[in-house]
Structure 1
Amino acid sequence: MRSVSQAFAIMRLLADSDALTLSDIGRSLELSPSSCFNLLGTLLAEGAIVREAPGKRYRLADAWRRSGLLRDGDARRLVDRMAPLLTRFAQKHEATVGLWQAASRDRMQLVAHAESNAVLRIHLARGQRQPLGGGAVGRAMAAAQATGSEELARRFVAVRWQKAMSLGTYADQVEGALRAGYAIDDGYTHIGICTLAAVVPQQRPEFCVSASVFAGARPAADLATLGKALIALANADPA
């Protein structure tokens, strides 16, 4: 049932996050406030999560957290190893960096991120989800998966594009990502933000690193340099 799936999605989110508010959870999983409230109430009653006071934040119950049942061990180790590399990359390139994981047939999830110390910077919320086809990450994953035209169209129509684009343009950009080794979304998913992404090779489920900067802030040559650096980050051995 859909409610059971949503309940487990909440638990997986809390397994990979610190304590979160109802708003944090609803925004990350795209749940309405009423649905999120009811699901949290059920999980509280069953002892799967606990509510911290003050602040009305929720966290996974200690027994569930210790069990590790909601965590993918290999994925967790990858996230832990990549974390310091993300931080160094963010500072060096003055960009907001993310590590995304394909969470389902329809969604990807941000599992780690880092920001530079710039006064003006782009903020990401760990645990947030977005449609699998969205952003530079969606294009990079589609290119790496050699996604067919029917599946590519399915992913495309599921995205709420903020700047109009056609399926043909989207497909061309996926092809471009395949050739270059990284994808780029210049304001289509979020107006004013330019994001580049490269897939972390030989990982299942797929992981992808992204770097976001303000649109128009850097010339094309600098974006190409950033893209190549992102490829190197995706292929880095963090051991």
Structure 2
Amino acid sequence: MTDEITQTRPVGALVHALSILRYLSARGRPEGVSVIARATGVNGSTCFNLLRTLVAEGLLVFDERDKTYRPGLGLVELAVGVLGANPADMIRPELERLSLQHSALMCLWHITGDDRIVLIERAYDPAATRVDLPMGKRLPAYSGGVGRALAAHRGLTRDALRAPFAALRWQLPPSFDSYADSVAEAARLGYAVDLGELYIGVDVVGSIVTDAHGTARYGVSSITLAGQIDATARHAIGEDIATTCRRIGGALFATPGPGAAVRQT
């Protein structure tokens, strides 16, 4: 009796889509639709439609400026259960997308057990005038944009904020009331803003990545020179970062089983 699997003809669209994904993953650099179509042997219009679908599903990222495609975070979500890759390596494509889309330095921060945030990865738009931060930069957990978002996520009351706020160091210190108000705003928006307070002349927008238990694990922030973007652009960056952080958390961290407690730290 012939095995049922051997009788089933492969689905052409799926075979083509996998060819595209394998090609771009092996290529290691973004490519345009015509190059991808030639390399994979997929008809041009079919290739274009498949690429659009793969982008919509998060498996590929489309660069609007260069009209190119590259692997996206959705591939990580599919593979994370069988791979022990460095999270920073897996998150980097999203940092690159954010940096190019918003012309900003994008930073990935690891939130440590001793209430520090440490810069572990970054990406930037080569065409943009920018500031820079060294890898390994350490900051107190509640400072800047990521710090405010972390305080908001942990649900710290105004009274609970007073002690950590007193220990923070700023180049242009905000008042406590202003800081506490910005934490409350971060809880409402899902992202936080620091306008030249941590570092004079530098604006920061940040949000956090949580695991399946609600524990904050990473922070993502945009860093621009003061005056480079207006409030509308900051809001767009903040929403994009917050959405991206949620997607990263879903991709990297498995959902807890039934009955698992959700906690915040």
* Separation of aligned partners in 1, 2:237 and 2:84: 25
Is 1:194 paired with 2:206? no
Q: Is the Cα contact below 8 Å between 1:132 and 1:155 reproduced in 2?
A: no
The corresponding residue for 2:245 is 234
Letter in 2 for 1:228: E
The corresponding residue for 1:174 is 183
| Counterpart pick for 1:93 among 72, 90, 102 | 102
Gaps of 5+ in 1: 1-73
Identity of aligned residues (%): 31
Q: Is the Cα contact below 8 Å between 2:150 and 2:216 reproduced in 1?
A: no
The corresponding residue for 1:152 is 161
| Equivalences for residues 37-186 of structure 1 within 5 A | 77-186=86-195
SS of equivalent residue, structure 2 residue 219: strand
* Separation of aligned partners in 2, 1:75 and 1:167: 42
CA shift digits 1:52-84 (9 cap, x unpaired): xxxxxxxxxxxxxxxxxxxxxx99632221012
Is 1:220 paired with 2:231? yes
CA shift digits 1:37-65 (9 cap, x unpaired): xxxxxxxxxxxxxxxxxxxxxxxxxxxxx
TM-score by length of 1: 0.64
TM-score by length of 2: 0.58
* Separation of aligned partners in 2, 1:104 and 1:150: 22
* Separation of aligned partners in 2, 1:232 and 1:189: 24
* Separation of aligned partners in 1, 2:155 and 2:233: 28
SS of equivalent residue, structure 2 residue 235: helix
The corresponding residue for 2:220 is 209
**Structure showing greater Rg:** 2
SS of equivalent residue, structure 2 residue 86: helix
Letter in 1 for 2:230: P
* Separation of aligned partners in 2, 1:101 and 1:149: 25
Change (3 A) 1:100 1:151: farther
Deviation at 1:86, TM superposition (A): 0.7
Letter in 1 for 2:121: A
Change (3 A) 1:162 1:75: farther
Change (3 A) 1:171 1:149: same
Change (3 A) 1:101 1:150: farther
* Separation of aligned partners in 2, 1:205 and 1:179: 17
Q: Which moved more, 1:127-136 or 1:76-85?
A: 76-85
* Separation of aligned partners in 2, 1:88 and 1:172: 31
- The structure 1 segments of at least 4 consecutive aligned residues displaced by more than 3 Å after TM superposition are 74-77, 148-151
Cα RMSD, aligned residues only: 2.1
Q: Is the Cα contact below 8 Å between 1:101 and 1:205 reproduced in 2?
A: no
The size of the alignment, in residue pairs, is: 166
Change (3 A) 1:85 1:146: same
Deviation at 1:96, TM superposition (A): 0.5
* Separation of aligned partners in 2, 1:96 and 1:114: 6
Q: Is the Cα contact below 8 Å between 2:209 and 2:216 reproduced in 1?
A: no
Q: Is the Cα contact below 8 Å between 1:139 and 1:174 reproduced in 2?
A: yes
Change (3 A) 1:207 1:217: same
